[in-house]
Structure 1
Amino acid sequence: QGYGVLRGNKTNAMLDEGSFHDYYPETYRLINKDYCWVEGFNFSRGADSFFGISGKLTTGVVMGNVRDDRRPREGILVMYGADKRQPVNGALVKLIDGEGTVVQTYTTDNNFNGIFVFKYVNPGTYNVEISNPEYETKTVQIEVKADDATYMNVDMKRVRNTPPAVVSYSPVWKEGDAPVKCNEPLVFQFNWDMDVDATEAALTITPKVDGTVKWEDTNYRMIFTPTDAYDVNTEYTVTLKKSAKHGGGVEMPEDFTFKFKTADRNHIYPLAVFPADGDQVHFKAGAFMEFRTAHLLNAYNLSSYFHVYDKAGNQLDFSKRAIKNNKAGDAYGYCKLPLLKALVPGEEYRFVVDKTLCDTIGLQLEAGKEYKFTAVDAGEAKDGTVVADFEAVADYQLIERDCANPSTAKLTAVTDKLFGSKAIQVAYTFANYDPSGVVEFRINKPSAEKFNVGDQLGAHVWGDMGYNTLCAVFSDENGAEVVEPLGAVNFHGWKYITKKLSALEAGKAYQFVGYILRKGSDTEAPFGLSGTMKFDNVLKASTSGINDMNQVSHVTVGPNPASDYIVAAADALIEKVELFNTKGQLVAANGANFVNVADMASGMYVLKVYVSGQVSTHKVMVMH
């Protein structure tokens, strides 16, 4: 079964597995033709045993493997037992009989297998002498039998005729030199292969630093890597005490000491994040998560350090082909990740950033980050009067000051909208980071609806996380304008922004006439030099007719979103259910535990469930 060479065989057969496929130490041994000869010898003996033949040969075979007694073998991932130690190339092996006569000699080849073979050896007692200029000569007594193989594995001890010493190290630093990176590993190169335990125990760093040690170059090189970054602007003293030993057990003649001073930064520092803790995110598929840092991030496998989880702990997928991240020459580090699927409005999620996120010089976050956010439908119906619908480009004009020359600003009607058939997109490019840069977006024929101080403006805005300042512009009957700041554009995607108007003059009525986008002034966070904004309905908003009520903890509703029915469940008898739109109007009711929403318009609703004299209120989404 599974051995192709035996398929269809009609007689007794034997399969000799000469090499265990990808086990590389065995592959190295098979390079040696004498090792293959021994494989054939054993195959012949196996056949003789099967057919009951014995005593056919009057001589025996001696075979062995010469290895270093402690130096690890490198360059092969999977090894077992003695194969983990370095084979000795160029070892002279002598077979000496009882009278001291050298009967045969064999020199191990340079193919890192350490194999030696003596064929056709008369039975008797022999000494096997193994020598190499770099090793102490070793002699082993063996007994050879006719028609049999004698195996021996020889471990050789290196000749270490000088004490151990550090021949090079890093970082090399002296007073006046540039400071050392706060994650720089400490590297020691020795003249001999070192005793791992004794050398690691001899290492001290002051002030104390926790870290890990690894060995390379068959224990000639020791590398200490700090678990976390060193402290900033700190001088460290590194001492390797003379108790460090090489493989022969000899200690260093004296302590080895050096110093270095660290730089003024030891971690990645976030500049901006969306969503931040407590933010709301429009629920549609493609919602962006973005993390920005003061220094460029290592782009290799960058998205793997970011995660979004729902309330049940399930990880959400990103749309991998649409992920964007920093490249050489960018002013800051970032990773921008769109979600593959839609969120559930009303549900809470977590945006998690791993501590091991690193920049281009390997510095990591000081601690992992977690940001809780809530999914919402920014386009749900609101109570108020629409004063601008942003449907047609011809209804608006663009005015620029201190922007790119030639201008790249452009108005476009786009289908990524919340209401109606279109939204208006504004592409912009500022000339520089000077806060005098302005893009004005004006309505040609403003609505006659008037605003007074204290009224509430409701604006549907698609943000680009440019951190530029968005302002609403109002004009009185004489054309005098008032600018009402709405805040920094520190978000991605659609958002419903509300603002109680405070800049308007009391006793005067104003019309909403457009927006102003002002260049952000924080040059320490160089965002928003160019970007894209989108705008949909602007409202003169009023208080919603829906008020949240205390939840009855044992009531659940679902599915959410729903397309046909919404069903409530409770521990007690459900008396009735009522469904309200976002204006607080009753749109459906049933004296049972469910309501039919098949003919309801898609959008956000509130379901009230009446149970044992209590009312449980739940936000639900209808989607068709």
Structure 2
Amino acid sequence: MKNWFAGIGLVIIFSWNLLAQDLSGLSICVDPGHGKGNTNAGPTGLREADINLSVSLFLKEFLKSAHIDTVLLTRVDDSTNPTLSQREAMANNFGVDWFHSVHHNAFNGSSRFTLVLLEEKRSFSNPCPDGSARGTGQPDWPGQADIMSNKMADWVFQALRTEFPIVRLDWTFFGGCNGGFSLGVLNDLLMPGELSEATFFDNPVEENKLRNPDFLKLEARALFMAILDFYDAGKLKTGALAGIIKSAENGRPVNGASVLLNPGNKIYQTDNNNNGLYVFHDLPPGSYQLQVQAPGFETQSGTVIVKAHDFSFRDFSLSVNSAPQVVLTLPGDQTRDYSVYKEIGVRFNRPMDKASVESAFFIKPFVSGVFTWNRTGDAVIFEPKTRYDFSTTYQVDIAGTAKDLQGRPLDGNGDGNGGDDFVYSFTTEKLDSLRPVILDFFPARKDTGIFLRDVFYITFSRALDPATVNTGTILLNEQGGDLIEYRVIPAGNSLQKIVLAPQEPLSAGKTYLLQVTNSIKSVQQEPLFRPLRWSFQSQSSFVSLAVLDSFEAELKWRDPLNVSETHGVLPDSIIFRLSDEHPLFGKQAAELLYLFTEANGLISLEPSLSPVFEREKTIGLGIYVYGDSSLNKIRIALQDNDGIENLPWQVLDWVGWRLLRFDYSNIAIEPGTGGNGQLDGREIALHSVQLKFSGQAKGKIFLDDLMLIQTPGPTGILSEFEESPPQDFILMQNYPNPFNPETVINYRLNFSGHVTLSIFNATGQLVKKLVDTFQEPGAHQITWNGKDDHGHLVSSGIYIYQLKFNQKVENKKMIFLR
């Protein structure tokens, strides 16, 4: 190369910049990598050796157009496959000025960057541990191979629009002292050289483009432009224009699209290789108008500026001009014995307007369910919240009002005109007569907003063997987390319906999984008909729960027969007491046995000392009720500044435990004596829990954990059922208070159990969990150093420390000063 430069004067170099490209006096060896017998190929079989040869032949023609003296190819077809040393020997023996090896890459099927490798100078002066020569971090041909490599990488990156260009020294790139090596096709060259990996043939998208000769010609043009720039041998007087034509609906390349270019009246038609590529070579600089047409798509036009010695691009996203259609259903039309739990769905021939499809979706008989769309928006799945009916034929109707993203109505019957329905049907399986089958469950599939202290249930077609119902056969866990402990409680006299009561609150905003395995068996030892797994989400916001009465150890309520509002009952049949028959969380629950004698009969359960709480800190109330399916009604009555305010009646139409939750913000309050239908004033008192005759006269229900649902932060309870401290524990005020840098919190437990002691800021956000473990009775002490869970010192302000123990919660304030 030095000899070539020495024979060229500055006047000649200057003339190249003014005149046509001129590489006269230069010789280059172009090496099409691999050859006969090489099996490197893309997903559909496109061989790298063939790609390399095509690019090399295009590059040879470009170089010849610049009057180069010699272009030496190491192979001219696929009949040979010279060794690496043979390729080097050809270049060395001929004495060329430059060497370039053309390759294309493969890795993980998704990469698409441009790589150029050049030889790294190595030395034995500081060898690797194995004694081999270590790389110096410098190119073997400094100021030549490195400059050319950077130019090639940049131009190929621009021409092929890969993700990014990379230029690397070979020995370091391949691992250095950890197995690195020098490229065999470069290590014995007597002239500068490099090896290019333009893009990745194992990437399906790239392989489709590499099947197009015009794409390969773009690569060759880029290499040619890099050589011209390196030798300052003039600029191309023309530019290249390229682009990708895709469907706007699904993003897929369009085959057979015609691109009309003016001025010039040139037409390019995209091939059938699913690349959507069009290319116009050798265009004079200027402004061009493009018009794209393709069967089934709207015509689209655009303008582009072409520059000399450059690449210009204009992509098109074509809108379809036909009505959308259904191309696939799940299950197929008239499928029989379809699972009552499985999802159904349809795939369209393009992305759809999701809201229009969901509103146009009808299933008869009606089934409640949820929709899930795929990423591209052309397929939707409908999952029943629980199940379909057994031995039932369902008709799925997607009305013609369903639309695509361009507002075109559905062509349901395939006549080419939009606006008509698509209909298909399927028939479900029979109910198994021997094995237990899941009939109903809560939470249902993909339910959201599940209360953090809710209880769940599952109903089966047959009674279960108690020995097979446990946390190992019915799995409950947070997604990606450990299994959650729960208590199994029969709903009724057998395990045909079971209630699952998690012993700790759920976390806010999390996805949970419930899985019923086929290890479940009936009393007759028949295994579960079909296992089932589903997910649900807890409510997104954190709430604070304060148990007003856990119905443990002592009944703090008046005898309902001594309450004036109780009437229409048989006195000897009214029993209100603590019972260990169906405890939900602790060891006992309140049991109410009743017998109504009059149509308007009512039982009023009033606390001996009504708890009082702050209205502004309270979101609502909750109570767990073990229903008896009597169709009688139950409600909670409150007392505010005006009088009695009644929360809505709830019909006892279930058996087993269920949480009744009353959210003040979305319920209709019925005014009682002196009330106005609104909760007024700062203080609210619990007046009573009432049971009204509206169904069966005789029955039995249970109550557990009457609780206050509060905004996070200090408790809103002003007074409790009794004025003495909680019996289970005593929480002391921290000392010192205010404090800096640390404070001590003391508490005493009267029983052993799981203790959680947490710090919250004034907005209710968790700052630090100090204790979360099982502890024995007695005095306990913990020190807080004013740091959060991440070890960061908190800011000055008011903080709340909260002790949770045995279903009870107590909060106290403290002040941190920095």
Which TM class, normalised by the smaller chain length?
0.3 to 0.5
Query: What is the TM-score of this pair, normalised by structure 1?
Result: 0.38
Higher relative contact order (CA 8 A, sep 6+): 1
Q: Point out the structure with the larger helix share.
A: 2
Query: What is the TM-score of this pair, normalised by structure 2?
Result: 0.30
